[in-house]
Structure 1
Amino acid sequence: MKKFDKLVAVFLAVYLIISLGLLVLFQGIDKRENSEYKVEINRIYFGLVKGSSFTEPDLSSYEFIKSVSFLPEYLSKSNENLDKFYKSNNGMEYEIKPWYDGDKLLGFLRFDYINSKVDNSFLLKVEIILLMFVVSMISILLYIRNSIIKPFNILSEMPYELSKGNFKGDMKESKDRYFGKFIWGINLLRENLDYHKIKELKLQKEKKLLLISISHDIQTPLNTIKLYAKAIAEEVYDTDEKKILAAKQIQEKSLEIENFVRDIIKTTSEEILEIEVVDGEFYLKDLIDKVILTYKEKCNLKMIDFMVEGYNNKLVKGDLDRAFEVISNILENAFKYGDGKEIKISFFEEDYCQLIKIFNTGDVVSQNEFNHIFDSFYRASNSEGKQGNGLGLYICKSIMEKMDGEIFAECEKEGMSFTLVFR
């Protein structure tokens, strides 16, 4: 904000300098032109032949002097002649000089001239136009300052607070056309983060209670196993029947522990993320336009051939934002695990379904790894040294299933492809 205020101050200073400069410039022109007509009068005056009858000089080479008239000395005594001689001629300015021949007064010379000095009204018009321009620019700058920069400085604090985990602060709704939707989005993000934080704490609590409960439940069969194992080791049982009975008890308790472990695995493999999908419809073109707008330039910067084949615009079932999330996850994986040569999106129609195939060149995963690529938290061997949590494709599959669609993967000769099926 301070830098912007300095910009406004500099703009005003430049205006003042220009305004004063114009005044000085026009005054200099005015003085120069005021002296030029006097030079011409003196040239004509000293060029006249004294002692002879007056002859009007040739004025074609003079810029300011338009006429020269002579009033003899003997006629100057008449008031009528004087009034006529001094009368203005067509609004021109004039100057009277006495004409001598030695000490003898011959008469008076009248020089009619046009003084082309700077018109003050022109300078005033220039100053007014300049002032109007400056006022307009200052108004625009102040509008930008108060309506855009100042609100943005206030908004810039919210992401910082969110990054620290402070989700309780609220931002007042604004009808400002620049930030109204942004504020709404920030508030929605804050509420969403707050909701997931509460949910995460709840899940952690449930997880802790589950572990405590399972630990307690496992402890009982585990103690039984330890007891029977100790009895067998110390040869407490003197008959084979008792030993067989103890072995059966160990086996039963082992099965109980195995069931507990299976329950843990089942619980952790169930819904990990709560993904909300809007049950609606959208046009295929809207989805592809959004993909191209987001990733075309990114591919150009990475020197990747990004090709989108032709398609027929169709109304498909699903959530536009979630569908874009699916394609985005696949493309981000292509950037991360592909060889950076080519990404191609092609389209097919089959059994009243719209198929979108996304192919990228690169090394394929092994058959064993391929069978698990849609599992949660699974990362193949080609992910070593690369950031990720193994949830991307799991989320893609969950979203497509919730939109009544499907997703398939295929290892091709030169890379990997993923096919999305929309109803």
Structure 2
Amino acid sequence: MKRFNRLILWVVLSGLAGIAAFAGYALSPLRTEHSKAYRIEVNRILHQASQQEGPAFPLMFNASDYSYIRSMSWMDKDAEPLAIQRFFDGSGVKDSEEYIVKPIYLDERLSGFLRFSYEDGSSYIRGTVVLIVILLLILAAVTGLLLYVRAQIIRPFHKIEKLPYELAKGHLNPGMKESKSRFFGKFIWGLDLLRQTLDTQRQTNHRLEKDRQTLVASLSHELKTPVAAIKLYSSALSDGLYESEAKQRDCARLIGQKAEQIEHLIASIITTSVSSLQEVEIQSSEFYIRDWLQRAVHNHKERLDLLKIRLEIGGYQNKLLLGDPDKLLEVLDNIIENAIKYGDGTRIGITFEEEDFRQLIRIENSGVPIMANELPYIFTSFWRGSNAGDKQGNGLGLFICKQLLQKMGGDIFVEASGRGMCFVLVLRY
């Protein structure tokens, strides 16, 4: 670009210098001396005319014998006044010529008048000026052409010459504005579209990879609940807490159920290791609150009894809800696991409310709530509150809960009070 700018400057300066030199030479005083030379020829003709009879002399005039005089005409002094007036006004003289009228005396008597037409050099000057103007116009046209090439070809090419290299290195920002250049407009637009496509694909791959990692981590997180239950039941069996044979068989059955749940989660991890959180399928269907609640209580009652944590269920109407009951159980498992981990081990309560044609399920636990300024971040992935301490976790449980509920058309929010924490599930009828 800099070299082309220097070329334009050199052309303009060289052209102006050449035109100035030509004008100085063509319009110099040496070139305009002939503007006075016609007078010498007029005086020479007048001297010859004074030696002859006036009317006969113009017939002897030969223009080829003179350099500046082009024609000569005679007017007798006794001619009609109108003819004399027209003679003096230059009637018959070409527009490109000048003229001068001189009296002719014979024997000191006025005989008539001679009119000389000549070129005084003004036409030469006019021609030279016109030529200079033409040269200036040519210079302007050449300069305009160079500026057009610079704007429409050189500049767009200069913008895109590094883009393929930057794309190859993965530098996809900043973008390029669409050019109106007839030569590179569509090409630049196509390159920028390619850049946007690559950038979108990179962001999509990054999001999918993050979702895969999040989903695998969340499923791994869900393994903790059945593992903890198995550990608790096995400890109870080994310590002889169940005296009756029926209780022992029931405990062994629960251990088998939790083992099956672990197998299911491991299969999910294998499946979702090649998928993303956004691709998790929600099997929406209608289900009754009572059926779902019985499954939830069955999953946690034994464990909570062993931990001596009261599970209190409030009153409710057995309505039909819309959603995925299995995923909703996963949500409840995560919240109860958090209540066990971060609560004071006294109480967990589940109550039901209705608001704005939505079913609200409130899960409360006693204990010290998190700080109020931490509440906005509680559903953020990989975030853990200040009350986490040395407790194990990866900050994904509540994040997954929110994602699942939103895919069901519901939501979840949190409330904190002096008595503990409360998570509110919002579901559709």
Q: TM-score range by the shorter chain?
A: 0.3 to 0.5
Structure showing greater Rg? 2
Given the two structures, how large is their TM-score scaled by the length of structure 2?
0.37
The structure, 1 or 2, with the larger RCO (C-alpha pairs under 8 Å, 6+ apart) is 2
